[in-house]
Each structure stands twice: as structure tokens, then as C-alpha cells.
Amino acid sequence: MIGDYTLSIERKNEYASAGPSIMAHPWHTFSVVDVLRRLGVTLEGLSSARAAKILEQTGSNQLHERPHAGLLAMLLNQFRDVMIAVLLAAAVVSGLLGEFTDTLVILLIVFMNAVIGVVQEYRAERAIAALKALSIPITNVLRNGQVISIASTEVVPGDLLYLEAGNLVCADIRLTECIGLQVDESALTGESNPVMKQTDAIGQVDIPLGDRNNLLFRGTQITHGRGAGLVVATGMQTEIGRIARLLDSSHRPLTPLQQRLARFGRVLAIAVLAICAVVFLFGLLRGEPTLLMFLTAVSLAVAAVPEALPAVVAISLALGAKFMIRHQALIRQLPAVETLGSVTYICTDKTGTLTRNRMRLEKLMFSNRIYSRKDDLDGRVAEQVLKILLLNNDAQLDSEGKIQGDPTEVALFKFARHAGYEPELVRAAAPRISELPFDAERRMMTTLHEVDSGIDAYTKGAPEHVIQCCVSMLTDEGSQPIDRPYLNQQAINLAQSGFRVLALAARKWPAAPEPPSAGMLERELEFIGLVALIDPPHRKVKRAVKRCISAGIVPVMMTGDHPATARAIARRLAIVDGDDRILTGVELEALTDQAFSEIVSKVRVYARVAPEQKIRIVTALQNNGEFVAMTGDGVNDAPALKQANIGIAMGMNGTDVAREASHMVLLDDNFSTIVAAVEEGRRIFDNIRKFIRYTMTSNSGEIWTLFLAPFFGMPLPLLPVHILWINLVTDGLPGLALAAEKKERDLMQRPPRLPDESILSGGMPWHILFIGLLIGALSLGTQAVALYQDNPHWQTMVFTVLTFTQLCHVMVIRSGKQSLFTSGIWANPALMGSLALTIALQIAIIYTPLTQTLFKLQPLTGMELLYCILVSSVVIPAVEVEKLLIRRGLIYRKPALKKQTAV
């Protein structure tokens, strides 16, 4: 049946000594006491030692994947390419015809190429595995009598977990405590509506998963409330694990960029094969040996088709994403790296992202007077205010005496404590018996407390919402009629000074209302006072905003704060200037989609906006052709994060649900980190393009050299082994070293890349054609001069020129516009080291007797080698002239982006 907890005999024996029994139990039918007894635990939680013993027996709490291919399998996979298979067949044919030297060299080069491919694939796997390890969720568990945070993979059966809205459930759990707990189980059951949970046992055994409302299942999401429960199954023994056993999760799809390059590679392969066929036929017509021409055509095809390009891109993206972690940006999905370069809008939360999320209470307003945090507070209302700050508050002291909780509540907690109120004593005198958690619609939080005279209800929230629910105002002289316009204006005045403002209210009840609801508790309140807090901006945010604007990226602030507070912060950060429009959530709700679409590009700040409205903002921008990055931290932000081109979750204060829906996680919750990630994404994409420019131009040069030689009546310029060697040494280390190229100076002065822009845009096809022709002309020119002089070393000279021109080319294309001498010849040590090694290898095979025989080369004289170097260096001024023309806008002008509205 569905949900049957079954284990093999072997696993049962393994678990027998593990401590808790995790045999097949209908956990939903047991009371909490029975669950504790069957698991062999208590509500005091496990000890670390016992948890470690159970973990050793049950294994890590994660779904198993098929093991990745080993090194031998990776090596064998390198020989599955059609071109390599043809080349191996050609080597066999050469051996059968007695050309053992050719066979040996071909096999050697193919093997070396396979080794390089294995290294590339292994590095990519390691980098991606490292990224995956960093994205493991954290969960709160009771261990050794204390609530601690551990990786969800370390959770074991018998653990007592604490969960709240926004958490992803990491195991199957039998609930022991619920406070308004609602769970989205659509991923498991298909039920779209959240399920309300409870803790009582259910008598019926055979009921669907969706009806077992005292259980939580791995992979589901908590949407409301909080609770605690005992882990009854982990890893592959969970319900989702049972399903996972039916699936093959080892396949990782290609990124969109890799898919585009793979399609490009297939088209290129067809073109190259056609050219190779022409070269083969012309060779036969000239009387060249059939085997030689066949080997030449196959070698040219192998060299010309960049079959390793998708792998190189994967490595660049993975290593780039790993590098971003140093900038506190965790890339969860590799396509995000390439997408970052197209971002035109960054829609960001204020608190914690633009600001430090270190709230500090600065002012209080009660009894018609504003008090500074340094003023002495006394009187009846002051006492009530300070009590509310502690009672309507979820902040707590941990075992080390540090205050843990939401930054706003931590600030309120600190203030009351510094005013002389002991949290433990205040809370003991008025224990909380129920609550209505804050939500984005009500914008309030209410708690109920039992006191000698009955029940006290305390409410805090947005002033315009709380004040509207009040019917009187408490002063030191007693209760007075409320002056709502006056109080609202006081809240606006504080907000216009850049403060975040909360209103406090209370109500007395003879007994707790049943059931407690917002409609019942949050009406006919008595206004107590206003609290003004400040959250200073991050130090580097203003500079990051300016860099955004210079890069053609529009920053947009979205906040739940009062419009006046939002405007004050936005002005301070230069997001808005003068009287730029600020749109509130209420105003947004009143607009039609058409009307909003017409003004969305002019709005820089959204105030009092609900998380549900963010998806509308993102969609409107996307419908206008924008590429949107958006931040979020709550459960309700998840749909907008998925909708955005780049969803960015908060790593420090965000929920598991938001992180799961995101493409990128900010480990420091800082806006400047987003800008740094965009910059790094642009650099990575730039370097991928440089690799493509380099390898395709090199291949073009080789093709033109072999294709045009017969038309000029010259013999075949190169042997097959020469072509394979050039492809091995020039496409290897120098090409990969381009991934280490530093960012160009104008990187953040360029407009965003068009989303549908081809990887070969910006004049790259023309560069590949003309510089490839130049390389071919220099090689054929060298051949013509040497043949005219009856120089017996002519083939070695062509071989050397073709190699050195490609090395000169890779050095000079390190920047798309800047001169080599401006960007710095030694700016990329990895590239210079790879060039030195490649030159050394080239010199070695020319002057080493063994390789001379294998490659059929002759040692060049000093003048011949100097001639080859000078001829090859012509590529440098040619590319420099091209870059000069680009800088002056005379060639390769990109189409203008749709004009962005700048601040």
C-alpha cells in the first residue's frame, strides 16, 4: 500500500542495534507517547553520541543517486565520439598497410587527447559536486537538551525537529506540537491546497498520505505556523525516497548555452565534413595517395570540430560558480551563470539586502510625546510599551546569552532589556497561550497572555493597519478617544525621516476567545504607542547601485515599509532622485495589467508591497522585454523567484522554500553581492566567448591552409599527425587558460547582453573568417617561399608557423577591444605559462631525434625558426588594428538595446 514502511531482512538486522526502531509502523495511528516508546527516545532529544551511532547504521539522510562514472569509464567514454572512432579505424588501416609510425603517432595523440578530456570531465564533476554540497539545507534539532542547527543530511530517526513557515521538511516526521501548522504537500500528493496539521493519533490504518495529517513528509513545504516532531524515517526510507527508487536521477541536463553550442557543433560538423570531402577529392585528382588523403581528411575533421567545447563550457560555468562563492554568492543552477550577463533589472528587498538588517530602536511615541532611546521612560504607558516589546516577541536568549530571532524583534528585545526589564520575569508573569502570527495581508501579529485578571492580547504591526483597528488610546491619564489622523501623521513623519515604524496596541479579555481569529482578536483595540527603528544601509550598497546604473541595469527596491520610509532609504542610496514615483501595494492592486505595463519601467520603489504582488512586477517587466533578477526570502516569494530570470534567495535569513525556488543564494544577504555576481557572470561569459573565438579561428586557419593549397598548385602542406598535434597542443592548455582571464576594464560600462543574442555575436563570425584566412595565408605563404627556394624544411616551417600563429592569436584576443599592451601582456600568468609550455613542446618535437622520426620533421636552422616566429607575429598587429576599428565604432557595431530609463 502507499506509505508502507518496509525494509529488507538485512536492513532490519542492521537497524536492530541502532537504538530507535524504524521498522514498518503506521506512525499516524500511534499517540505521541507510543511513538516515543517505539522509537526508544524522549522529548529531551537524542545525545550526540547516540545520534552518531544511529547515523552510522542508517546512513546519511539523503536520496541516493547512481554513482558517477569512475576514471576508467570516463576514459572509455572519450572514445565514443564518431570522429575519434574513425581516426582509430584509420590508425588500424595504416598499421595494416605497414605505416606503423603513423599508427603509433595517431594512437599516442588520441590517447593524450582522451586523458585531457578525462581531466576536464573530472574537474567539472568535482566542481559541481562541491556546489551541491554547499547547498545542503540546515535544520533545527534538539540534541543534548539544546536546540542546534545541523545539516539535514545528519538527521536520524528519533531526532526531535523544530520547524516553522518557510522550512522544507527534510525527513518523515510524526508531529508532537502544532501551532497553526499548514503544509504544501503538492509535490507528494498532488493536492494544491495547504494541509492543516494536528498531533492527535488517527485510528484508521489504510488511509492516503494526504489524510495522515499528523505526519510531515520529506520534500513538502511548511507554509504557515510552526511545530515540532519526531523523525520516523530518513533518506530512501521516506515516502519520497520510495518514489526516488523508481527514478534515475543520475542524468544532468545540459545548460542552455551548452545546448546552443551542441547544435552549433552539429551544423559545423556537417560543413567541415563537406570541406574535408572536397580536400580528399582534390588530393586524389592531384595524384596523392588514397590513404594519405583519407588520413588527412579525417585528421582535419577531428581538428576542426570543437567536440570538447560543451565540456569546456561546463568546466568554465562550474568553476566560475565555485569562484562566486568567494563573493558570497552560491549558484544553485549553472544556467544562472550565463544568464547573469543579460540582467537588465534587479528587483531587491530593502531589509537585509540594501540595509544591514541590524535594527535599532531609536524613538518611541506614546502619550502624545516622542521619546529618544536615551530618555528615561516611566509611567503607566511606558511600562505597557516595554512589556509589549517583550511579550509580543519571538526573540530568545540562547545558551550563550546571545539574542536569537528576527532582527526587528531582536532590536525590541534589546531595548526593553536595557530599560531594566528582565525577559524571563516578564514572560513568566504573563505566559503566552496562543498567537496569530504575522502575515503579509494583515500586516500584524497578535499574542494572547494569561494574567491574574484574565487574558491580555497584544498586537504590533504596520501603523496604518493597527491604528485602523483601534477605538481608543492609552495615556498616563487613562483611556482617551483616538485621533487616527494625528497618529497616522506622526507615523508618516517618522517614516519620512527614514525610520521603520511599528504600532503597538492591546485589548483585555475575560477569557481566551475560541477559536482565536484575526476577525475576533484584532478589533476594538486600544492604541499604546509607536516604535521607530532604523536599519542603516550596507557600506558598499550605494557604490553598487551606481555600478548597476552604469552597466545599464536598473535597481528597483521592494519593501513592506511605509512609502515615506522607502523613499528616504531609496534617496540615500541614489535609487530614486527628486520626486520619482513610488508605487504602493494598494495602488498596484488598483491598476489593470495594461495600465501597470505602461508605468512599470518608471517605478523604482514599491512600498507596502505584498510578496504575492512581486510576481506581477516581475511578469510586467518581462512582458516589456526586460531580463529580471529578483530577491526574496519568504514562502510567498517562491513563485516570483521561479518566475524571475534569476531568482535570488537570502542565505542568512531566508526560508528553505525560497532557497529551493531560487537560482542563486546570497550567503551574506547583501545587494552589492548581487552586483559582484553579475560582474563575475559577465566575465565568465566573456571568457567562454574568447575560447570559442580562439578555437574556431584556429580551426578556420587549419581548414583554409589545407583547403586552398591544391588551388595554388602546392603539395599537401601538412601530414595528418601534424594536424592532430596542432589541435592537441593549441586547443589544450592555452585555450583552457583563457578561463582564468581577468575582467576587462569596461565590463560594467557595457549594456546587458541581449537574452537571445547568439554566442557568435559581435562580429565573431567575421573575425573567425578573416583571421582564419590570414593564418592560412601566412602558412601557405611560408610554404610558397620555401618551395620557391627549394628548401627541404618547408613542411616543418608550415607546421611551425601554423602552431605559432595560433599562439600569437590567443595572446592578443584576451580583450575584445583593449590593446594587448594596455591590458598587460603578463596579466594572465596561467595563459603565459601555458604558452611557454606549448612553445617548449613544439620546439622539442622539432629538435628531438625520436619525435623528428615519428612526426617526419626536420630540424630548422636558427634563421628558419626566426622567420617562422616573425611571420606568425603578423597576427598580433592584424588583430590590434581590428580592435582599434572596434573601439572607434567602425566595425562590428552591436544593435542598441531598448533604452533603459536611467535615474
pLDDT digits (tens, 9 = 90+) for 571-582: 889 999 866 779
Read off the pLDDT band of 142 (50, 70, 90). very high
Calpha distance 167→173 (Å, rounded): 13
- Helix axes of 309-324 and 671-708: crossing angle, nearest 10 degrees: 160
For residue 531, what pLDDT is reported?
A: 97
pTM given for the model = 0.74
C-alpha span between 679 and 164 (Å, rounded): 35
DSSP readout, 428-459?
A: HHS-EEEEE---TTT-EEEEEEEETTEEEEEE
Share the mean pLDDT of the chain: 83
Q: Contact 492/564 with Cβ under 8 angstroms?
A: yes
- Position 312 scores a pLDDT of 65
Query: How far apart, in whole angstroms, are the C-alpha atoms of residue 174 and residue 228?
Result: 9
Three state DSSP letters for 220-278? CEEEEEEEEEEEEECHHHCHHHHHHCCCCCCCCCCCHHHHHHHHHHHHHHHHHHHHHHH
Q: What are phi and psi of 183, to 5 degrees?
A: -135, 135
Hey, what's the torsion of the CAs at 291, 297, 298, 301, to 10 degrees? 180
Whether the pLDDT of residue 242 is over 90: the answer is no
Quick check: 400 pLDDT over 90?
Answer: no
Q: What whole-number distance in Å separates Cα of residue 463 and Cα of residue 449?
A: 22
Residues β-bridged to residue 480: 473
Whether pLDDT at 149 is above 90: no
**Left, alpha or beta for 583 (phi > 0: left; psi -120 to 50: alpha)?**
beta
Q: Interhelix angle for 82-96 vs 290-304, to 10°? A: 160
**Bridge partners of 582?**
605
pLDDT classification of 154: cutoffs 50, 70, 90: very high
**pLDDT for 467:** 96
Per residue in 63-109, pLDDT (tens digit) is 765 555 667 777 777 777 655 665 576 667 666 656 566 677 667 76
pLDDT digits (tens, 9 = 90+) for 642-669: 899 999 988 777 777 777 788 888 888 8
pLDDT of residue 899: 41
| pLDDT at residue 9 tops 60 | no
Q: At what angle do helices 794-812 and 829-847 cross, to 10 degrees?
A: 180
- Examine the residue annotation and report whether 349 is marked as an active-site residue of this protein: yes
Pair 454, 509: CB distance under 8 Å: yes
Reported as a pLDDT band with limits 50, 70 and 90, residue 901 is very low
Query: What pLDDT is stored for residue 858 in this prediction?
Result: 94
Collect all residues with Cβ–Cβ distance below 8 Å to 890 and sequence separation of at least 6.
none
Q: Which of 102, 159, 184, 349 is catalytic?
A: 349
Q: How many CA atoms lie within 13 A of 713 on its CB side?
A: 2
pLDDT, residue 248, reads: 44
Rounded to an integer, what distance in angstroms lies between the CA atom of residue 222 and that of residue 227? Answer: 10
Residues 6+ apart with CB under 8 A from 765: none
Task: Tell me the per-residue pLDDT of 581-616, one tens digit each, with 9 for 90 and over.
Answer: 799 998 999 999 999 999 999 999 999 888 778 999
Which is nearest to 887 in space by CA: 809, 819, 811, 812?
819
Q: Alpha-carbon distance 433 to 491, whole Å?
A: 31
C-alpha cell at 628: 529580471
Kindly report, residue by residue over 464-482, the tens digit of the pLDDT. Answer: 999 999 999 999 888 999 9
All cell numbers assigned to 536: 542603516
Residue 27 three-state SS:
helix
Query: pLDDT tens for residues 403-450?
Result: 888 888 999 999 999 999 999 999 999 999 988 888 777 889 999 999
Query: If DSSP codes are grouped into helix, strand and coil, which group holds residue 673?
Result: helix
User: What pLDDT band is residue 7 in, cutting at 50, 70 and 90?
Assistant: very low
Torsions phi, psi of 451, nearest 5?
-130, 175
pLDDT-derived band at 895, boundaries 50, 70, 90:
low
List, as own/partner pairs, every contact residues 512-518 make where C-beta atoms lie below 8 angstroms and the sequence separation is at least 24, other chains included. Answer: 512/433, 512/434, 512/448, 512/450, 512/455, 516/434, 516/435, 516/436, 516/448, 517/436, 518/436, 518/442, 518/444, 518/446
C-beta neighbour count of 729 within 10 angstroms: 22
pLDDT-derived band at 276, boundaries 50, 70, 90: confident
Distance between CA atoms of 703 and 234, rounded to whole angstroms? 58
* 249 burial via Cβ count (<10 Å: 0-12, 13-18, 19+): exposed
The Cα 51–Cα 773 span in angstroms is 68
What is the bridge-based pairing of β-strands 195-196 and 172-184?
Answer: antiparallel
The residue behind cell 563573493 is: 327
CA pair distance 611, 661, nearest whole angstrom: 14
| Helix-, strand-, coil-residue percentages of the chain, each rounded to 5 | 50, 15, 30
Q: How far is CA 329 from CA 450, 466, 542, 741, 762, in A?
A: 46, 38, 19, 20, 29
Helix (H) or strand (E) holding 786: helix 764-788
Measured distance CA(890)–CA(716) in Å, rounded: 38
Does the pLDDT value for residue 216 go beyond 70? yes
